[in-house]
Structure formats: C-alpha cells, structure tokens
Chain A
Amino acid sequence: GAGVSQSPSNKVTEKGKDVELRCDPISGHTALYWYRQSLGQGLEFLIYFQGNSAPDKSGLPSDRFSAERTGGSVSTLTIQRTQQEDSAVYLCASSLAWDSGRYEQYFGPGTRLTVT
C-alpha cells in the first residue's frame, strides 16, 4: 500500500508569512507524529496524535506552531509568522495504535521549509 505522503516537498516563504504543511498517513495507522530536523541534526519531536487528539503539545517550539488532524487521517502543521529559525525539514510519521504494542514509525519524505 501507499506510504506516508507529505506536501509540499519544498516550500520557500518570506519571513512573517504563514505556512501549512500537510501529512497523509498510512491507511489504518491511528498514530501520527510530527518532527523537525535541522541541517545535520537529529530529529526534534514536535507533536503526536492518537486518533484526532493530541494529548501533549509541549514539544511545539512556540505558540506560532499548531497542528490538527481531522477524520483520524490527514494532519496539517501550521506555522504562523514564520521566522528564519523555522527553516528545517519537517517530517511526518505514522504508526499503528499503541495498544497494538507496535511502535515503529513509518516516515514520509519530509517538507523542506526555507524562510527567507
């Protein structure tokens, strides 16, 4: 079946503009995750969804970041008033429900965000 897809693959935006990043998880995966990877760095965990709810938003870097998930499927990560330090690759992943005991995450190709 299809893997995790993300759009756009690349986004260049001007400082101060808002951006929306989209993630389509693997069908049947109820858990969805957002990460950020800066150049040459590891992954920074931002937020996860179990179904449509995000129980812990503490990983979001600032209140300019928000995420939602509707219908237990597609998720959108929104960054308002973008700053240059927001430039990074934003990765989305999905996994089976945690009560399945299977936590391995399947990642999308990422969205490369450049704020000029």
Chain B
Amino acid sequence: AQKITQTQPGMFVQEKEAVTLDCTYDTSDPSYGLFWYKQPSSGEMIFLIYQGSYDQQNATEGRYSLNFQKARKSANLVISASQLGDSAMYFCAMREATDTGNQFYFGTGTSLTVIP
C-alpha cells in the first residue's frame, strides 16, 4: 500500500478563495508526523506545516492549516485567501519510526494554480 496518497494531480483556485489539498496516509506506527511542503517552479522545497500524531490541535501556520483526521488517516492542507504566489506543487509527507530510526515518505504531489 502507498504510504502517502495525494489523489488530486491538479487543482485550480480563484485568487482570495480557500482551497483544500487532500492527503491520506498509511502507517501502523503510533508516533508519526505529517508534513506539507511547497515546491514552486524554481524547484526548491519549502516546509509549510507539521502535525505530530499526538497533537490534539490542528496545526496552523499563517494562511496554512492542516485538517488532521486521525481515524480517517487524513491530513489535508487548507490554504486560506489564496495568492498568486501560492501556485506551485504541494507535497504531503510522513515520518514514521523504524527499528533504525526514521523513514520519510512523500506523496506524488498536487499542482495548484491560482487564477487571478
């Protein structure tokens, strides 16, 4: 089974509107972490937000929030008030513990286009 699944290859959103990017994950590790990264066309990966599996509250960072539904194994990214600069690829990722430390898994990404 895929560790991280992003089912939306491409999304469009009107400027100033909110958008939700979907991510589901699969792990049996009780202590895991979930991340979202942004990759603009320039290529550099930019950390956006982190959610630990034991965190009770949904993580928020400015206009980014992570809608964490543990029972559904879902970690959707919500971007409020979209801006043109939000146009990029967005990757969901997971850290899980292994016998030797940690493993990191990335989804295949969602391409977001913000329309003026």
Contact = CB atoms under 8 A, between A and B. Distances in A.
Interface of A: 33, 35, 41-45, 48, 50, 55-56, 59, 89, 91, 93, 98, 102-110
Given A43-B91, A43-B106, A105 B101 contact: no
Nearest to B50: A104
B91 A89 contact: no
A56 B98 contact: yes
Nearest to A9: B43
Contacts, number: 58
Main secondary structure on B side of the interface with A: strand
Interface string B19-45: 000000000000001010100000111
A45 B104 CA distance: 6
B43 A98 contact: no
Given A33-B104, A107-B37, 8 more contacts: A42-B4, A42-B109, A45-B104, A48-B101, A98-B102, A107-B45, A108-B44, A110-B44
17 contacts: A33-B104, A41-B108, A42-B106, A43-B45, A45-B103, A45-B104, A45-B105, A55-B100, A55-B101, A103-B50, A103-B95, A104-B35, A104-B50, A105-B35, A106-B47, A107-B44, A109-B44
A5 to B, nearest CB: 11
Interface string B58-93: 000000000000000000000000000000000101
Nearest to A55: B100
Contact of B43 (A35, A48, A50, A110): A110
